[in-house]
Amino acid sequence: MSEATTKNIVEEVSNRRTFAIISHPDAGKTTLTEKLLLYGNAIHMAGSVRARRNQKNAVSDWMKMERERGISITSTVLQFPYKGRTVNLLDTPGHQDFSEDTYRTLMAADCAVMVLDAAKGVEAQTRKLFDVCRQRGIPVFTFINKMDRPALDVLELLDELEKVLGMQPVPMNYPIGDGDTFMGVYDRATEDVYLFDRTVRNQTIAPETMTTLDDPRIEQTLNAHQFDDMHTNIALIDELAQYDEEAFLAGEQTPVYFGSALTNFGVQLFLDDFVEMAPEPAAYESDAGEVDPDGAPFSGFIFKIQANMDPNHRDSVAYMRIVSGRFERNMQVKHPRTGKMLKLSRPYSFFADERKVVDEAFAGDIIGLPGNKLYTIGDTLSASGSFNFAPIPRFASEHFGRLINLDMGKAKNFNKGVDQLETEGAMQVLYDADAMRRDPILAVVGVLQFEVVKARLEDEYNIKTKLEMLPQRLARWVIGPDELVEKLPWRMGVLRVEDNEGRLVALFNSIHELNYYANKYPEIAFRDSI
Ligand code: G4P
């Protein structure tokens, strides 16, 4: 590689900021996404992400469910330039019941933005997603949203963050008022106050005025109690919480921003800091050691597969996170799992909500590879060598249901559909080891995924199915000497099943049941992943 090319790669990679937004449903993830795009100049009128999403739903049948429920099931990826950086935003599904998809998306992100509703604080879903960020060791920004509504006390919110998530929250700004009195924010670093005006239907950039804390308008707008509290709290926070880059990158601190995505207050201040503070693309572990983003030739891994988005085209898109080097259209890459060489000729990138063919991309970028059914989640692609990235962790399923094909005449289509959805990672498939009929048992992390699978089988493969829910709640691979495993009693409703490679799996009703087996048969391992 020439020196100029290497320099170019280093520069491009260092400009990438790849992140995901996590939140509890309704906290404002979609609204914040839209406003980031508005400030990133990627859309000119907020509202279009939602509008496009609805348009898309109109052509994509299985998304009907999504539209009806007003939730986002699929993840999208959006790229936009901001202040010399290239920002890649991975949109994670925010509904209560979610699939492994959400977790996998976080595998492809270098940091996360956690959106909280100022009136609610840390909610259940946020906590679950936050746990994944912690496992991944990625830094987390916090955006406390909906300050234009009556909010919890600021110190109470910060206290909760610290207690529940175990990180030190460091407010980078402080809200001036809340609900009807919310005027803007005080920036701790510069001691400037940014006051905002609302715009018509909140669709364009909110005009801002820069001033200081002693601006008489503040005292006039806030009540005496709010005003005093603000001054006391700012002084207290100055004493207690200073931003420390190392602690942030280590996931020990979370910088906190206050704002209102709906009215655009505080969004730009957040974005300005975000592109400076968010980490550059990280190195990833592989079986040949760590792969540096700017050091090695091109490599990447598939973290998501989505088929039949548009029934007219029946295409399948594999989403790849580029881990190192430069990607060029038409390049030949190695697919170590099959040993094949592949030509990547129609890669897409995603700008706002539109696909466009990409000629060149760098570590940190996400590109879509359409049409190749060869890929499965976790696959490595690379221009050199035949190493594999560390596998994407699977998350233990908690719900199980037997899927019955109601139209036996279409067994082939049924199997094809189940195979495809399994390849996409929509669910895991197990088979009852003792039953005569081989109806697949679907294993999922969130129960909504059952409905997604049923709806997609019906829409995309014309197969009607019925699901018989099973009472079991835990799946464990059973590993041990054959003679001991063969003698294992299958009592108390523990179900003996096999995965699609014929490996033995036990489905337990409860953790107590599992513990009982684990204690009674110490020579046998009951593993939650394989
Ligand atoms: P989600 O993706 O996290 O599920 O949340 P989403 O952005 O869809 O926001 C959920 C609801 O909260 C929406 O209202 C949205 O307009 C509102 N919202 C988001 N940010 C703010 C904010 O800063 N202030 C206030 N007051 N509301 C906010 P909705 O009525 O459910 O939907 P819509 O009719 O507005 O689309």
* Same domain as 330, residue 201: no
**Residue 391 resides in a domain:** no
**Residue 73 resides in a domain:** yes
* Same domain as 323, residue 193: no
Please tell me the distance between residue 70's alpha carbon and the centre of ligand 1 in angstroms. 11
* Same domain as 294, residue 268: no
* Same domain as 204, residue 309: no
Report the distance separating Cα 85 and Cα 281, nearest Å.
12
pLDDT per residue, tens digit, the chain (530 aa), is 566 567 788 999 999 999 999 888 889 988 898 888 888 876 555 444 554 444 333 333 334 544 443 333 344 678 888 999 999 998 776 555 555 677 788 899 999 999 999 999 998 878 888 888 888 889 999 999 999 999 999 999 999 999 999 999 999 999 999 999 999 999 999 999 999 887 777 777 777 888 999 999 999 999 999 999 999 999 999 999 899 999 999 999 999 999 999 999 999 999 999 999 999 999 999 999 999 998 779 999 999 887 665 555 556 788 899 999 999 999 999 999 889 999 998 887 766 556 678 899 999 999 988 877 788 889 999 998 779 999 887 777 889 999 999 988 899 999 999 998 888 788 899 999 888 778 999 999 878 788 888 988 998 899 999 999 999 999 999 999 999 999 888 877 899 999 888 899 999 999 999 999 999 999 999 998 77
Report CA 255 to chain centroid distance, whole Å: 19
Q: Given this model, what pLDDT does residue 74 score? A: 46
Strand ranges (E), 152-288: 168-171, 173-176, 184-187, 192-196, 208-211, 253-258, 284-286
Q: Ligand 1 pocket test: which of 180, 262, 263, 270 has the largest number of ligand atoms within 8 Å of its C-beta?
A: 262
**Residue 345 resides in a domain:** yes
* Same domain as 23, residue 73: yes
Ligand 1 shell residues, CB under 6 Å: 23, 25-31, 94, 145-146, 148-149, 260-262
**Residue 389 resides in a domain:** no
Question: By alpha-carbon position, which residue is closest to atom 17 of ligand 1?
Answer: 28
Please tell me the distance between residue 518's alpha carbon and the centre of ligand 1 in angstroms. 46
* Same domain as 356, residue 406: no
Domain boundary among 255, 277, 299: 277
* Same domain as 204, residue 98: yes
* Same domain as 244, residue 156: yes
Please report where in the chains the tokens 């919480």 appear, as a residue. Answer: 241
Residues 6+ apart with CB under 8 A from 102: 75, 92, 93, 129, 132
**Residue 146 resides in a domain:** yes
Q: Given this model, what pLDDT does residue 58 score? A: 30
* Same domain as 346, residue 239: no
Residue 480: give its domain's CATH number: 3.30.70.3280
Domain boundary among 225, 259, 277: 277
Residue 316: give its domain's CATH number: 2.40.30.10
Please tell me the distance between residue 272's alpha carbon and the centre of ligand 1 in angstroms. 23
**Residue 387 resides in a domain:** no
Number of domains within the chain = 3
Q: What is the extent of the structural domain holding 439?
A: 399-527
Residue 12: give its domain's CATH number: 3.40.50.300
* Same domain as 93, residue 12: yes
What is the 3-state secondary structure of 145-189? ECCCCCCCCHHHHHHHHHHHHCCEEEECEEEECCHHHCCEEEECC
From the alpha carbon of 33, which atom of ligand 1 is closest? 7
**Residue 197 resides in a domain:** yes
Dihedral sign computed on CA atoms, order 165, 168, 170, 175: positive
* Same domain as 202, residue 318: no
* Same domain as 410, residue 353: no
Q: Given this model, what pLDDT does residue 97 score? A: 52
Please tell me the distance between residue 72's alpha carbon and the centre of ligand 1 in angstroms. 13
Q: Given this model, what pLDDT does residue 76 score? A: 62
**Residue 456 resides in a domain:** yes
Q: Given this model, what pLDDT does residue 96 score? A: 52
Question: By alpha-carbon position, which residue is closest to atom 24 of ligand 1?
Answer: 146
Please tell me the distance between residue 27's alpha carbon and the centre of ligand 1 in angstroms. 7
Domain boundary among 249, 277, 305: 277
